[in-house]
Structure 1
Amino acid sequence: MRFLLETYQQFQAMRFALDEINKSLTLLPNITLGFYVYDSCAHLRKELEGTLWMLTGMNKTIPNYCCQKWPRLAAVLGHSVSTYSILMAHILGLYRYPQISHFSTSSSLSDRSQFPSFFRTVPSDSFQSRGLAHLLLYFGWTWVGLVGMGSDYGQEGVHVITQELIKAQACVAFTGFIQSDREDKNVPYLIRIIKESTARVIVVFAPDVYFAALLDELLKQNLTGKIFVASEAWSISTMLSAEKYSSILTGSIGFAFSSSPLPGLKSYLNKVHPSNTPGETITKIFWEIIFQCKFVGNLTGNWNKSTKLCTGNEDLETVENSFNDVSNLRSSYSIYTSVQILAQSLHNLFSCWHGKESLSYGMCVDAKHFKPWQVTYYIQNVHLKLSNGRGVSFDINGDLLSVYDIVNWQLGPDGSMKQVRVGSYDTAATDGNIFSFNISAVTWAPEDHQIPSSVCSKSCPQGFRRAVSPGKPICCFQCVPCPYGEISNNTGSDECIKCPWNMWPNIDKDRCILKAIEFLSSEEPLGATLTITTLISSLVPLSVLGLFYHYKTTPIVRANNYSLSCILLVSLSLCFLSSLSFVGYPQQLKCLLQQVTFGMVFTLCVSCILAKTIMVVLAFMATKPGSSLRKWTSPSVSYIIVSVCNILQLCLCICWLSLSPPFLEYNTDTKPEIIIIVCNEGSATAFWSMLGYIGLLATISFIVAFLARHLPESFNEARFITFSMLSFLTVWISFIPASLSARGQYIMAMEVFAILSSSWALVVCMFLPKCFIVVFRQNMNSREHLIRRARK
């Protein structure tokens, strides 16, 4: 037989509370509370029998009859085991007898439809299970094993924890139950799944007596390295605090019922003696166990002279054990609270004698004739302040607001195991801080120097996201890099987030940084080269213009329509300079004028060439006798041609700017990691129409010049125009596919290159031969030479 000193302390705590109440002058004055104690010996049949005895009032069961008129049964305190309390509550609830349990935690007892008169001074398992789940999540333990007692207590507790973990996207690695009805307690199966699982943290929702069987097998197989999380059923167990379990349980953490001191209880306990304590038989057994002696009346025939005899003079103050240890009162304080609640409820009920309160209809209740349901009513509505200052009242389900101490199993210097309070879990906290934790006071297993980890897969670092592995729990995942353009700046991210449009992930993809801005800058090598080339190139036509001006009276210059050539050279210089609008930071005004300027100066240039070509043809056709075309050879005709061609292009540009003008655009599609600042044409149709119009003029010039190439060479510019237009068209036809394939600043660079190339083609083909003759072959720049060549 095992004698539990903690249970005997609870019995004495109940006596202590009753003595306080009976001695009180303000609480239930002139009324003495008594008690009956029944031991069910952990058998359901005896529990049922004892419950009916209490209702009947005698040691003979007579259902529906109470044979004891006085003193009346006011309430039943107990049971400490949920399964037994459920059985009692079903019976007592029929008669509405109030039942207050100091240790039954099953959440099913909160069902008022089944248990209308059940109350308890300990939190429901549903509170504890949710709290334990939050504790697991507090430490980041998302991959845990659950071991429960194969009873209502264990199954309900495991079920609630599982649901709470699933809500938080944590996972249960395995679930197993200790079966009390099996000889091996299902321990072999539990050992196997614990061995196979990678979960380091195991929640045990079972009483210490049954958990010990599992621990013994773990010791036998030297299976260590697990962190156990305790329910209140074993979190402060004296039995499991034995030194042999220290290698397994050191570092364990869990919930225990909130403790509070009871002034005067220790001295009360130390005064317990077989001669002055109710239950002489049980008290003598207690005395023999404490002092390792035997009373003469308890000796059997097998005793010998070495047996120590109990004298009754032994002093409890000379020993220290779990009976008189009042440093961490939990269950004893709970049963003390139960008695105080019952006394206050009876006091409120009987206070009607003094006109203070009545139950209903103005009728008062006699202390000798009260009904069970009347006591239940007052217990449900009781408001009591305990000695620790905490207010007590029941909710509609008969539950108190839950308060737990968080205890940590630590190995002392002397090798003994101690349960140290390191925090609390208080659902009634007014500041909303349910968890109060002193993490620095927590001691883990010797191999763990910091909070141990229990996860199926390590948390994904920044820059990665979780991807669930098919067929595995959600906690078992792979870490995959964030997609292009997205980041994750927290560890364990489920999803990556996109950066704002003007930002881009860094190399590690853990933060967004401002995108680089790209445009054809004059400060970069490419832009600087094009700028210098443009400026130098623009001087060439002006130099030729200066040369022509100096030799304007010579036959070569006069024969090539001096005025039109001057306009052409100026327009070529402008063509070169127009490319500067494509270099540098784009601005709205620059975007508006960029393409239009380019189009107008090139139209002027090509229209001049077209006019020169037409004038060459007309000049030679007008030399025929009687030709009516002589009047069309006037210089004004060439100006009209140039003007008409430019007016048409000007009208097109005005329509373009009016209906769909170009605008500044931040392009992030071409290169998502870069902001390309470009000028959007606005209307692609207008842009290509403008370019096509220039191409049309150039094509007409090319065809006319090609047909006129056989005219007399001395006065014929047609060959030079043919080559220049051929080069011009070749450059711009090549530009179309090149611009479509280019990206970013290279689109602008390609257009600048096309402008420079086509302009140089015109300068070289149109003016280089003439400049060579004017400068180096002056003998060829004479009227006699030209006439002689013409006669040939």
Structure 2
Amino acid sequence: MYDTCNVPHYELQGALEVLTESGPLVPNYRCLSRSPFTAVIGCVVSANTIILANVLGTLRYPQISPLSSVSLLSNRPAFPSFFRTVASDKFQSRGLAKIVLQFGWTWVGLLAANNDYGQLGIQPIKKYIIKAGGCVAFTETIFLDQLDRNAPHIVKVIKESTVTVIIAFALDVDLVPIMDEMLKQNVSGKLFVGNAGWAKSNLFLMGKYFQVISGAVGFGLARHLVPGLKDFVVRVENSSYIEQKWKHLYWEKILNCKFSVDISNSSSLDALVKECPGAESISSVRNSYTYTSSFKYTHNIHDAVHVVATALELMRKCEMSGRFYSSENCTSFRNYKPWQLLHYIKNVRITLSSGREIYFDENGDIPPTHDVVNWQKSSDGSMYYVDIGIYDSSTLPDATFHINSSFFRWRLGDSQVPRSVCSDSCPLGFRKAPLQGQPNCCFECIQCLQGEISNQTDSIDCMKCPWDRWPNSQKSSCVPKMLEFLSFKEPLGAILAAVSILSAFTPVSILKIFIKHKNTPVIKANNYLLSCLLLVSLSLCFLCSLVFIGYPQTETCLLRQTSFGLVFALCVSCILAKTIMVVLAFMATRPGSSLRKWTTPQLSYLIIFVCFFIQFILCIVWLLFSPSFPQNNIQIKPGFIIVECNEGSLIAFWTMLGYLFILATISFVVAFLARRLPDSFNEAQYITFSMLAFLSVWISFIPAYLSAQGKYTVAMEIFAILASSWALVICMFLPKCFIILFRPAMNSKEHLMGKKQKD
């Protein structure tokens, strides 16, 4: 047994002294005259273990470390004879990254000592976190060569950072200055995640650390009790297998005393230390040395000794049974080479009393298992850690946590899991937009554009909805677009339909009046047959608006504009014929006029036929070459499918309207010129007013039609049809109906003639 005090050159010196036995130390050579020693158990510090493993590996001396966990030692070509009974930091680093990500901590800070242990432990954590989509706000180094361990700078960075969670990969003694500095600067609200180097340290059990250590979570080395250890430590004075020197050291530690020889050789500072009695029993003493369940690393050392003993037993049994390995006879138990023992160590498989197995993989590592611990504050103000679960990585790559979350107590006893994110998650309907110069965890949430959704939190991109769907109000899913058309079931469509039907009865009612009073002077003076035809066409004008209401189908789309164009062409043609006939009738009354032969009903019918036929030809050409058809318009109104009739050819549509405008304009001009004819022919005045109203309606219709959208375009055209039709009914027939119904005395030839003579 060689006490190196964890000093590297002492470690190396001890190994070389064993190898060379005496004289000058000769590296890479074995100068022993006696039987070789079996194996080396040690070192504790990973950096020192690496130095020793390079020397012992050259001669294939088995080396088993109970505590050196740095992942570099798993490099088998570099360290062919190295084993350890502690889990590699490779698995611990992966587990720490997993536990951070499991709690949703995507914005973390990293601390690590500036040695192999810290740097080789923290780099995999950083890699795993970034690979999983997390971010590292800062990575600070604990300088072991500085007395304050660079604590002021580190705490300043921690204090100014927005991170809540900090992963510290270091030994407890190196982390104490950081904790003290945090207390000095009154830094709170941070949560530490620790490795096995400090997660179960007794240094932080003092109550003063509760402000910075409370709620900390980390990994501790999995412990198991060594059978018989408790009885052994209290009866060690009776053991014949332990040298007296080791017994004395043990007594001095337990009883806090010094033997007389040691007191005489000690400094004056130790003068007050009591002398060990030498005969006192330690079985009744109760302290940390006799409370074996508090031993953190004893089982690792016991496992290392157990492995070597088992390997020697395997070698002895092989020699006794005569079995073979590597095509050679079994090794002599009294005379073997280091590499021969190495073979047996590789094949050791031990089942502990807890049921856990110890064996080595191809890299000399044991199945890794860690305790998950949580630092909590007790009722008396002190700190303690609680084992809340196990991280079992023996089934890698599917390593799993077994955690009882109900045992967790976070900062200052809070049961709510802390949050550590750079930016809050983007809800449904938003996407993440990275901030320039910031890690990918720092972003702003931008609402999806019109027609796009995001159906999961933290979406990077928004998805466009299909053409027939539209985002809901939260923009989290696509819902079917609403169909928009002028329906009979909606109020606007129902009102227009009702007005159209009721309005159609007005010309019919007037027609009945005209038929009943067809022999009266007022009716005769205004061309009875043309008036009847005009009233029928006006009734059809009112009814044609019904074709515009309802779901657009192929048949209705073909009928809409053509029926409108034809019935209005018939209506305006009748008015034009009446106007021309009024003028011709007046001119034919002049003496010697040759126009008398043109004042026959056949001329008016010819005018109506020609004007109507031209419109009919236009509509037939339109239907043959570019007919109207139903279509779904998704461009006009977001979130709606406008079911409308595509006119096919806009040129044909406006030509049809333009032709009606020409007919109405001609009627207006002719009627305006004939407005001062004698009273018996004063229908020209009514035609003038009716055409003026008709033209006003349709001239106003054009900009309103072009600016309206969706169903309101159709409603606007129906309104123009109804308004223009009512203008004709009111201006042309209301005065006549008033005379017929309410002023029958005026409906006489004498009255009309008398009025003429008066004029």
Alignment of 1:439-454 (within 5 A): 439-446=405-412, 448-454=414-420
Measure the CA separation in 2 of the matches of 1:678 and 1:552. 49
Alignment of 1:267-286 (within 5 A): 267-273=231-237, 276-278=240-242, 280-286=244-250
Q: Cα deviations across residues 691-737 of structure 1 (Å, max 9, x unaligned)? A: 53143134134225524654555457555445434433332232222
CA distance 1:416–1:318, change in 2 (3 Å): farther
Aligned to 2:656, which of 693, 703, 711? 693
Q: Does 1:232 align with 2:199?
A: no
Measure the CA separation in 2 of the matches of 1:78 and 1:238. 23
Q: Cα deviations across residues 735-787 of structure 1 (Å, max 9, x unaligned)? A: 22212222344323222211111211222333334434444555665566667
Relative to structure 2, which stretch is displaced further, 710-719 or 410-419?
A: 710-719
Measure the CA separation in 2 of the matches of 1:395 and 1:627. 126
How far did 1:452 drift? 2.9
The aligned counterpart of 2:719 is 753
The aligned counterpart of 1:19 is none
Q: Does 1:569 align with 2:538?
A: no
Read off the aligned partner of 2:276 and give its amino acid letter.
L
The aligned counterpart of 1:703 is 666
The aligned counterpart of 2:157 is 193
Secondary structure of the structure 2 residue equivalent to 1:318: coil
CA distance 1:698–1:493, change in 2 (3 Å): closer
Aligned to 2:32, which of 61, 68, 82? 68
The aligned counterpart of 2:613 is 644
The aligned counterpart of 2:387 is 421
Q: Does 1:121 align with 2:85?
A: yes
- Contact residue 591 and residue 662 of structure 1 kept, 8 A: yes
Measure the CA separation in 2 of the matches of 1:592 and 1:398. 87
- Contact residue 145 and residue 175 of structure 1 kept, 8 A: yes
How far did 1:661 drift? 4.1
Measure the CA separation in 2 of the matches of 1:320 and 1:305. 21
Q: Cα deviations across residues 627-676 of structure 1 (Å, max 9, x unaligned)? A: 886899356535643662453255245337xx6543253x554443x42x
Read off the aligned partner of 1:545 and give its amino acid letter.
L
Measure the CA separation in 2 of the matches of 1:74 and 1:204. 38
Q: Does 1:84 align with 2:53?
A: no
Aligned to 1:602, which of 568, 587, 594? 568
The aligned counterpart of 1:216 is 180
How far did 1:208 drift? 1.4
Measure the CA separation in 2 of the matches of 1:645 and 1:449. 87
Measure the CA separation in 2 of the matches of 1:594 and 1:493. 48
Q: Cα deviations across residues 375-434 of structure 1 (Å, max 9, x unaligned)? A: 545555655544433445544433344321101122334555332111122234599571
Measure the CA separation in 2 of the matches of 1:626 and 1:587. 51
Q: Does 1:175 align with 2:139?
A: yes
- Contact residue 612 and residue 638 of structure 1 kept, 8 A: no
Secondary structure of the structure 2 residue equivalent to 1:273: helix
- Contact residue 60 and residue 81 of structure 2 kept, 8 A: yes
Q: Cα deviations across residues 233-292 of structure 1 (Å, max 9, x unaligned)? A: 011112332444344323221101222333333223333238635454344223212112
Secondary structure of the structure 1 residue equivalent to 2:416: coil
Measure the CA separation in 2 of the matches of 1:604 and 1:113. 104
- Contact residue 348 and residue 357 of structure 1 kept, 8 A: no
Secondary structure of the structure 2 residue equivalent to 1:663: strand
Aligned to 2:12, which of 48, 58, 67? 48
How far did 1:222 drift? 4.7
CA distance 1:389–1:289, change in 2 (3 Å): closer
Relative to structure 2, which stretch is displaced further, 579-588 or 145-154?
A: 579-588
CA distance 1:745–1:378, change in 2 (3 Å): farther
Measure the CA separation in 2 of the matches of 1:649 and 1:530. 28
TM-score by length of 2: 0.85
CA distance 1:552–1:354, change in 2 (3 Å): farther
The aligned counterpart of 1:28 is none
- Contact residue 371 and residue 389 of structure 2 kept, 8 A: yes
Read off the aligned partner of 2:147 and give its amino acid letter.
E
How far did 1:462 drift? 6.0
Measure the CA separation in 1 of the matches of 2:482 and 2:103. 42
The aligned counterpart of 2:623 is 654
Q: Which runs of 5+ in 1 are unaligned?
A: 1-36
Read off the aligned partner of 1:689 and give its amino acid letter.
A
The aligned counterpart of 1:294 is 258
Measure the CA separation in 2 of the matches of 1:372 and 1:622. 144
Secondary structure of the structure 2 residue equivalent to 1:233: coil
The aligned counterpart of 2:282 is 315
CA distance 1:630–1:771, change in 2 (3 Å): closer
Alignment of 1:472-621 (within 5 A): 472-481=438-447, 483-484=449-450, 502-506=469-473, 519-520=485-486, 526-583=492-549, 590=556, 593-612=559-578
Measure the CA separation in 2 of the matches of 1:120 and 1:588. 85
Relative to structure 2, which stretch is displaced further, 694-703 or 603-612?
A: 603-612
Aligned to 1:104, which of 47, 58, 68? 68
Q: Does 1:203 align with 2:170?
A: no
Equivalences, count: 748
Q: Which runs of 5+ in 2 are unaligned?
A: none
Relative to structure 2, which stretch is displaced further, 706-715 or 95-104?
A: 706-715
- Contact residue 462 and residue 488 of structure 1 kept, 8 A: yes
- Contact residue 558 and residue 629 of structure 2 kept, 8 A: yes
Measure the CA separation in 2 of the matches of 1:576 and 1:310. 127
- Contact residue 485 and residue 643 of structure 2 kept, 8 A: no
- Contact residue 599 and residue 691 of structure 1 kept, 8 A: no
Q: Cα deviations across residues 521-564 of structure 1 (Å, max 9, x unaligned)? A: 55655445434433332221111111221122334434544344
- Contact residue 619 and residue 633 of structure 1 kept, 8 A: no
The aligned counterpart of 1:337 is 303
Relative to structure 2, which stretch is displaced further, 743-752 or 62-71?
A: 62-71
Secondary structure of the structure 2 residue equivalent to 1:654: helix
Q: Cα deviations across residues 195-222 of structure 1 (Å, max 9, x unaligned)? A: 3334333322111122223333444455
Read off the aligned partner of 1:180 and give its amino acid letter.
L
How far did 1:151 drift? 0.7
Read off the aligned partner of 1:234 and give its amino acid letter.
W
Relative to structure 2, which stretch is displaced further, 703-712 or 108-117?
A: 703-712
- Contact residue 46 and residue 116 of structure 2 kept, 8 A: yes
Secondary structure of the structure 1 residue equivalent to 2:152: helix
How far did 1:104 drift? 1.6
